[in-house]
Amino acid sequence: MLNYGDLVFLWSPRKGDSFLLKLSKGAVQGSRLGQLRHDDFVGHDYGDVVRSHSGEAFALLRPTLGEYTRRIKRNTQIVFPKEAGFVLMHLNIGPGSRVVECGTGSGGLTCVFAHFVGDEGHVYTYDRRQEFSELAMRNAERWGVADRISFKVRSLDEGFDERDVDAVFLDLPTPWDYIDKAREALAPGNRIAILVPTFNQIERTLDALRDNHFADPQVLEILLRYLKTDPRRIRPEDMMVGHTGYLIFASKSQEGLYDGVEQRRSRRGEDGAELEETPEA
C-alpha cells in the first residue's frame, strides 16, 4: 500500500501524459488532465487506476530505473538509459562491484551504478563542482541508493583515492588528461568506459588509451528510435534524438602490449593537425 515518500509513475491512456512523483502530504501536480493530488494516491497500490481531480483516469505504476534517470533533476546533459544499459553490459559491474566515476554531473549514471552494485557494492563519484555533487546526492536519495555512494568534491588532478576497482567511467571535457589516473584506480584486465560528445574528442582519447597500454579499444554510438503505438498505423516517431554521445571502451593491460605494432599516429606538422595521406581517391 503506497504511502508518503513512495515514488509513483502516473500515465494517462487518453493523452499519454506521464508524471513521476514522490508522494508528499498535501502536494498537488498540475496537468492538462486535471490536478493530481498526492493525498488521493496514498493507500492505493501500484497497478491501480486512479483519477485526477477532474476525473481523468491514470495508471499508477512503479517507476523503472530507466524512467527515473530519463526524468532526473539535472543541470547538465545526462547519460541516457540507452548508453547506461550498454555500459552496464560492457564494464565488469554487478552486485558487489566497486565502481569509480568522474564527473558526477546530475548523478543519473551514479544512480544506475548504485542500483546494480547492490548493498555489497559501492560507487565512488568525483566532481569538482559542489552544486553538482549536492544535486546528485538528492537524486540518489530519491531513488534510495545514496548510502551506496561516496560523493567526492574535488578535481581529478590528484587522481582517484581507490585502487583495484572493477570499473571506471569518465564523463569529462578532456578525458585524455585523466586516462593515467583511471589506470591507477582500475584493477588489471578490467574495463573503462568514456563518454564524449564530439568527434574531435575521440582522436585524443584513443591516443591516450594506447599510450597508457589499454587493450581492445572500441568506439560506438547508439541510436534509439521510438515507434508510434497505434496498432493500425505503426511507424517510427517523426523526430528522434540524433545524438547523445560516443562511448569509448578499453581494458587495462600492460606496458609492452603494442611493441612492434605499427603506431597509427600520423606525422603531425607544426600546425598540429597534419593528416596522413588518405588512400580513398
- What part of residues 177-216 is at the interface with its own copies (CB under 8 A)? 187-191, 197-204, 206-207, 210, 215-216
Q: Which residue has the cell 588528461?
A: 177
Task: Give the SS3 label for residue 51.
Answer: strand
Supply 270's cell numbers.
607544426
In angstroms, give the least distance from the CB of 5 to its own copies.
16
Supply 104's cell numbers.
558526477
Q: Which is nearer to its own copies, 16 or 26 (CB)?
A: 16
Contacts (CB under 8 A) with its own copies, residues 86-105: 86-92, 94-96, 103, 105
String marking each residue 13-52 x if it binds its own copies according to CB under 8 A: xx-x-x--------------------------xxxxx---
Are the CB atoms for 71 and 32 separated by under 8 Å? no
d(CA 265, CA 275): 9
Q: Which is nearer to its own copies, 4 or 46 (CB)?
A: 46
Contact partners, residue 100, CB within 8 Å, separation at least 6: 123, 124, 125, 126, 160, 162, 165, 167, 168, 169, 185
Contacts (CB under 8 A) with its own copies, residues 68-87: 69, 76-77, 81-82, 84-87
Q: Which residues are annotated as a binding site for S-adenosyl-L-methionine?
A: 106-109, 127, 171
Specify the pairing of strand 122-126 against strand 149-152: parallel
Q: Which stretch binds its own copies (CB under 8 A): 24-32, 133-141, 153-161, 237-245?
A: 237-245
Q: Which stretch binds its own copies (CB under 8 A): 25-33, 34-42, 151-159, 224-232?
A: 224-232
Q: Which residue has the cell 574535488?
A: 154
* Degrees, nearest 5: CA angle 141-17-135: 20
Q: Is 238 in the site for its own copies (CB under 8 A)?
A: yes
Q: Which of 111, 123, 212, 206 shows the shortest CA–CA distance to 160?
A: 123
Q: Is 157 in the site for its own copies (CB under 8 A)?
A: no
Q: Which residues are annotated as a binding site?
A: 106-109, 127, 171
Task: Give the SS3 label for residue 82.
Answer: helix
Q: Which stretch binds its own copies (CB under 8 A): 20-28, 32-40, 109-117, 153-161?
A: 109-117
Supply 233's cell numbers.
498505423
Q: Is 155 in the site for its own copies (CB under 8 A)?
A: no
Q: Which stretch binds its own copies (CB under 8 A): 28-36, 133-141, 151-159, 269-277?
A: 269-277
